[in-house]
Amino acid sequence: MSEVNEFLHHPVNDEQRDLLEVLLDNCETLEIEGHSVIITMVQATGFSDELSTLAARLRDFYEPDALFLVVDLGDMIQVVARSTTDSIDVGKVAEALGGGGHSRAAAAHLRGARLKTVRAQIEHLVRIHARAALTVADLMSSGRPQMLDPDMTIIQADEMMRRFGHEGFPVVTTDEEGSDRLLGVFTRREADRAIDHGLGDQAVRRYMRSGEVSVRPEDSIVTLRRRMIDSNWGQIPVVDDGGDIIGIVTRTDLIKLWDEASRPDRRAGELGQRLRQTLNPVQHHLLELIGVEVEQMDYDAYVVGGFVRDLMLDVVSRRALTLDVDIVIEGDAIAFARHMQRKFGGRVVEHKRFGTAKWLLTSDDAPVKLAALLADLNGAGALKDLPPHLDFDTARTEFYTEPTVLPTVQQSSIKLDLHRRDFTINT
């Protein structure tokens, strides 16, 4: 009932209304780990009415991710805290101040303290306990990006950037232990200038932007933005704890994020519901199962192709549906298909040149373990409701060295994989 009470609109009396106006005037908005946090302070000696009602009014008015009221009542300072996200646990903040509560609503009473001191404590504690709303991992292109050797010529680097359609690459060398050592970044802009001045045969290291600017997957978007501004790099390598490069995040990624934030897409929930309505329970559970297994291998999986197109256009009906989907794996699709075959049965046909695999689920290659797992969803009909096969494709980029030949293929991210697909007809 206490949680329900938080969402009830209690009337305010004249004394509360006067205090609310002062609290509104004193609101200070902070951005912490991508969250909006409001702290407002007021001296209100002798005030005896309920403060939680005022906290609810302020929360509804500003809609912050977290809100802290700090009120000096004369004999003590009362802190009322509210949160609208699991990423900021106000209960932990209040507990550190000597109070308590739960993750979304908490309070504390402090004696012998000053308003400014308590305000500084709150900000410090929020910075400690807040988790990033979005992290670099949500934006980055996973997998080792294309990298330039510092001794490569500028002409070679320019050809490589044009081949893969990128504006720049990190310049990397290897230390004695075999780990990556980031030396800088070299962009198409520098390449164009050097070539225009007849310096195309010079080494990349002479004209690159030197530095060791990088981010980690767990870094916040705020941290990423600051690094980009401070360094003026449009491509920031993402490194693991050992310093090895595991991905890259670009200025374009950041711009797209801001655009998406300003135009929230409500279709994601609609597509999820449409997917459940379109697939039979066995098929839907099979996709969920793939999601669980791919996460255990530290990969990512995406459904692509005509099935997604038809789903978005709402032209798929359960009656006519044969589950024919392509699943792109950010990782090794062949290794993942083998994993599924070992764990659930069936048979795998591999195409190593292109990093693809077909997981056969026909009656001749019956995945007995998988059928048993799904039997509780549709009884004995579970096996017949399975698709005849699933196609797993390694996320890849490809280019043609000359007309009419097979492409040269390299493992990449889903972003680069989508670049090679035809959006006018498929995908």
Q: pLDDT tens-digit profile of 311-341?
A: 888 776 554 456 677 899 988 999 999 999 9
Classify domain 2-129 at the CATH topology level.
Diaminopimelate Epimerase; Chain A, domain 1 (3.10.310)
Residue 90 contacts residue 76 (beta carbons within 8 Å): no
Q: Which pair of structure tokens corresponds to residue 28?
A: 């200070």
Nearest to 414 by CA among 340, 334, 303: 303
Q: Rounded to whole angstroms, how far apart are CA atoms 343 and 207?
A: 52
Q: What is the pLDDT of residues 117-159, one digit of tens each?
A: 999 999 999 999 888 778 888 888 877 778 899 999 999 999 8
Q: What is the pLDDT of residues 170-218, one digit of tens each?
A: 999 988 777 889 999 999 999 999 999 999 999 999 999 999 999 999 8
- Residues whose CB falls within 8 Å of the CB of residue 96, separated by 6 or more in sequence, listed in order: 121, 125
Domain 267-419 has CATH 3.40.720.10: no
Least confident stretch, 38-47, 111-120, 227-236, 257-266:
257-266
Q: Which CATH architecture has domain 137-261?
A: Roll (3.10)
Q: What is the mean pLDDT of the chain?
A: 84
DSSP string, 292-358: HHHHHTT-EEEEESHHHHHHHHT---TTT-----EEEEES-HHHHHHHHHHHH--EEEEETTTTEEE
Domain positions in the chain: 2-129, 137-261, 267-419
Least confident stretch, 54-63, 225-234, 286-295, 383-392:
383-392
3-class state of residue 228 by DSSP: helix
Q: Which pair of structure tokens corresponds to residue 422?
A: 């035809």
- Indicate if 267-419 has the same CATH topology as 137-261: no
From its phi and psi, is residue 17 left (phi > 0), alpha (psi between -120 and 50) or beta? alpha
